[in-house]
Amino acid sequence: MAVRTLTINEKLVSAPEGATILQAARENGIDIPTLCQLDGLSTVGACRLCLVEVGPSGRLQAACVTQVAEEMVVRTETPKLREYRKMIIELLLTERNHVCAVCVANHHCELQDLAVKLGVDHVRFEYLHPHLAVDVSHELFGIDHNRCVLCTRCVRICDEIEGVHTWDVSGRGTNARIISDLNQPWGESPTCTSCGKCVQACPTGAIFRQGSTVAEMEKDRQRLRFLLTAREKREWLV
């Protein structure tokens, strides 16, 4: 396999041809924040938190979907990038109704962790305060659209790992919503297998297990990795 040599933050690194900047950075211990990316799922570049500067002009590229190239020069930590990332977190917080103090994922939320890491201690933009429903029609799980960041992890894991594609996205912009099947209550879905993979994949408290109380729900990402590996290696087939 061909290897590409590039520079990330003035450090010379190598990566296989076809690898992304994000993969190359992580292989070399360089952290780039992400929200929509989840190992084992396809990449969509939805959250833009992984923006990096590429080349002498500092062109902004999403690290999760941009492939490495020979002699590429990448910067992952600059004042401009930090400001963009803070702005993205602030916009996510204003678009929906995120009230961490009463969330089942409080202290176990990737959005919250990124806000702390990036120093988001206030929001400069006007809150939209949309009127959003909470669907608890499913006997085991619920979805709170107030906490959804439209990362589409649930859509992709349901489609690519469970193989039923119960979830999808309806609408555009601020009107975009995660829907089950043809926008029917989750509990009436004829395709949902109640596997719970979407619950584990969700980075916030948007998809939760019913009965969970404030700050109680933790996610087991290793379970998802085990399922993906088992499927790829056909380990559960005789």
pLDDT in the model for residue 223: 73
Q: Write out the CATH class of domain 84-233.
A: alpha beta
pLDDT of residue 234: 64
| All CATH 3.30.70.20 domain ranges in the chain, comma separated | 84-233
**pLDDT reported for residue 236:** 58
pLDDT attached to residue 231: 65
- Tokens 């190239």 locate to 69
Domain 3-25+34-74, CATH class in plain words = alpha beta
Q: How many Å apart are CA 39 and CA 62, to the nearest integer?
A: 16
Q: What is the pLDDT of residue 238?
A: 42
C-alpha distances in angstroms, 142 versus 41, 115, 134, 185, 213? 22, 25, 7, 10, 13
Contact indicator for 137, 185 with CB cutoff of 8 Å: yes
Q: CATH 3.10.20.740 spans which residues of the chain?
A: 3-25+34-74
pLDDT for 218 equals 87
- Residue ranges in the chain whose pLDDT is less than 50: 238
